[in-house]
């Protein structure tokens, strides 16, 4: 959200005409960040339904830079680092160590494995004992196809993650969960800077405002497309062709 809003602040403001016609308010450089943030919020909502036996942390800063773990879950069935990917509108293939989007290879599997190993090392050091952090990949996509080889990392859809975690066998006692939760909540467990002040509430409010602007623009596009189609009824053939092209562009944007 923070990176999306930073890039958004550098973009020129939409003109009155662009606002009227419902042009997407998200600047091109910020769109991948916007989409990713929406995916993370969807997964966060599912994880927050795990119940009081689990502790869930979001956007856990790791190392000494801006890297973070999308979600960290600690509960009786284990500790999990969750990497979310929003590939809605695309087809995904997963098999062994391969994760492909539209036929193109990605580094998602390796990145998730590396994140799990790093989280295991940091949490174990802070807890004073070996604590396994299992990496998960939670992917939003139109279709996920699994190959014959079992994926090197567990891959789930957002609507599967809660039940999958709850369905595992108990791995930690209630006392262990409370202790690990306390350790995990300390920023110094994960990041070189033990305390970094930020205004999370204000950040979320700004992002929510952008989401509402996007939804409002989508409604305006649909209304404009409908008006174009209805207005084209009384036009000659050439006008109909032109109006049809405008309507298609509006509906497809």
β-strands 154-156, 133-146 pairing:
parallel
Highest average pLDDT, of 81-90, 130-139, 220-229, 240-249, comes from 130-139
pLDDT of residue 224: 76
* CA–CA distances in Å: residue 20 to residues 24, 216, 240: 11, 10, 22
Give 171-181 pLDDT, tens digit per residue: 999 999 999 99
Residue 64: both structure tokens together: 């000494």
76 close to 50: Cβ distance less than 8 angstroms: no
Give 187-208 pLDDT, tens digit per residue: 889 887 655 555 565 667 677 7
Residue 17: both structure tokens together: 């005409």
Give 112-167 pLDDT, tens digit per residue: 999 999 999 999 999 999 999 999 999 988 899 999 999 999 999 999 999 999 99
Q: What is the mean pLDDT of the chain?
A: 84
Per the document, the length of the chain is: 253
Taking the C-alpha atoms of residue 5 and residue 18, their distance in angstroms, rounded to an integer, is 20
Number of H helices, E strands in the chain: 8, 7
pLDDT over threshold 60, residue 95: yes
**Whole-model pTM?**
0.71
């Amino acid at each position: 959200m923070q990176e999306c809003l930073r890039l958004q602040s550098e973009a020129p403001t939409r003109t009155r005409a662009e606002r009227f016609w419902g042009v997407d308010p998200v600047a091109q450089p910020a769109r991948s960040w916007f989409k990713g943030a929406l995916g993370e919020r969807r997964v966060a909502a599912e994880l927050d339904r795990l119940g009081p036996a689990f502790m869930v942390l979001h956007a856990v800063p790791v190392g000494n830079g801006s890297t973070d773990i999308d979600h960290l879950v600690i509960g009786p069935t284990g500790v999990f680092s969750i990497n979310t990917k929003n590939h809605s509108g695309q087809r995904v293939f997963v098999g062994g160590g391969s994760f492909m989007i539209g036929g193109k290879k990605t580094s998602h599997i390796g990145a998730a494995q590396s994140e799990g190993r790093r989280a295991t090392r940091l949490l174990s050091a802070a807890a004073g004992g070996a604590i396994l952090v299992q990496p998960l990949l939670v992917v939003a996509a139109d279709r996920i196809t699994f190959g014959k080889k079992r994926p090197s990392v567990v891959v789930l859809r957002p609507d599967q993650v809660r039940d999958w975690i709850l369905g595992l066998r108990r791995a930690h006692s209630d006392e262990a969960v409370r202790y690990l939760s306390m350790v995990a909540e300390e920023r110094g467990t994960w990041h070189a800077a033990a305390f970094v002040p930020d205004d999370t509430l204000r950040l979320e409010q700004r992002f929510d405002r952008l989401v509402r602007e996007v939804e409002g623009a989508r409604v305006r596009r649909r209304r404009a497309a409908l008006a174009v189609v209805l207005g084209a009824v009384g036009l000659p053939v050439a006008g109909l062709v032109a109006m049809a092209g405008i309507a298609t562009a509006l509906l497809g944007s």
